[in-house]
Structure 1
């Protein structure tokens, strides 16, 4: 089918340090392209300062101003360009073919297994190495033995599609040995077998825990934690207005909401899953913690959204995804304390990038060791979720049975995930 032209993606670096880099994408259009691009940018730890999107349904033109987030991993700009090119429809295929829903070929899954002595922050340090190597964690199973040793099973895919080569495998193990140092005992990397499917799901949740984790409305505790700062009473809000009077062919979505990491991705993901097509969009710069977004959209059949029920459903879904895109609670799992984090999976099967990285970083900063961890999928009545489970080590400066301490931990984790 051919590949996109190299000119389809252009990255213009900022003239001086601190200036945003400008990413321009100019290629055939497809439903959900904006979501795919925003997801890759989020995966590389970049923050979208502002953006413009324009398409005639056949060809699209996207301009995004991006900056690396403070404390983020080093951005390999050439690799970012290659990843963005891979998301663009081929310039050599017809418009008809470009519009057909396609499922990208799945990358082979590898099992990374290492055995080492435990220490605080170890899991995050390993996760950071994998992120820097552009290896995506699909599943993980981490277990701490009574003698203070850790057996980590990471099921990973390679965004560079090179993990089948000895050079790439050696590079991965060398980087891990470097971060583990004398704590490392063994490291193995091989194609995953039947054990990957065995670890696909998660152990069951009690109905009470599932209800608390997956409810649509924010609890009073979550609402309090969403204050912009401790000395402000104004809470985070999201307003969505639908207007059909300004365009004969498109519905205007006007969005005003609090800013968070991955905001544009969450909006684009929602529209993609709802089969909405964007004709034009403008993402305004951050203003006092809020962002404005104007989008001219159509339904998949090329018509405006005129049905009041469809309008109401879309507005409610967008508000939920902007205010509550990630879920986090602490609960009891037998005698242990468990942190649960969940995020919705796109209809194409992809979960949100860097969640495991952000959670392990927050726990490392708090000085909390992770006794065990696992990632799996969990299905509710209306969608599939990516579920992260962390059993927390009781030997930390927090009294984990204390409700105030638990709320503090959840708040720090949520703020790390949202970039606050």
Structure 2
């Protein structure tokens, strides 16, 4: 990529892998209770065909189905759970043998290659478990937007470390991934839980509501500090295929997650990013609710966000169409560092940055006049050409770790010295802020 020489781009490339799959419902609505009479009739036609097989045929078909999977007991458990989830739809469930139940469950599941098309728009936060990390280093979690068949977006994770000297390493993911159990569903609030023994690279958060059915997009994670405790929040876009809305994810351990829709006038738009702590006793968010400028919003309620104050408008040619944030603000001694994206001619997405006053973040005290990272001709082709984009960076010592996506296809990481970046942003002073 074309970028400033002080950006140290690491030789790490996280590319989409079509061999990575999850097992998910096949040919059915998000919720079984939403089946219409035609769906129910077809389901029971399939059930009747399975019940017409004799015991030996049932066992043979089931064994053949399992042949492509390494963990047979695990898969049989998934098959049984699927049948249990659909039990109220079946007309003859009382007569099922165990093998019949397992096979029927398999008929209503399929493998889905959740990152076959793209793996992009990353964000990064410190891992809640730092045990065993080398002295001076840090373990982190990288979240990524994965896109598979039908342009459906889900949320997936990687684990990595950065050494005291700034060397980055990413652990390879496991091939087979898993979906969480829905442990609670109350209105717009969903609670999800993964198995305790699952690896973080196995965990995939797939759409679980009609508002999300076409995607959970662009999660901006932040480690939020309050009263000595850390919670991990992510604002993301839920896409139904027709409408979008902003939602909030919360977790403490990356095993259990709570997802809930945000409310208020600002929540009908994309790209909201939460500050990592309260400011003056209130929550604060960077948002873009006029489709082109960045706004600062305060709220007394984490789930309620109305309109805010514009703090940055398009000024330079590389951002004439719109400006957005590239994740949550990062607290520095010099102020709040916010990476931004700008859209220019031919939908050319570039990454810049701005510095906000520590005490009054509505005041811009520094701004990049030109892109810091932008597409290069040799790498700009991909799922969406001519784009670089990030959903969140992280401070580590005297460096910033910036993960970003290239052409909405694959992701990489760069590091930059904070002092050098701050010096660049503050050249020209606050007059360049708006």
Pick the TM interval, shorter chain: under 0.3
Larger radius of gyration: 2
**Greater percentage in strand:** 2
TM-score normalised by structure 1 residue count:
0.24
Structure with more contact order per residue of length (Cα contacts < 8 Å, sep ≥ 6)? 1
TM-score normalised by structure 2 residue count:
0.23
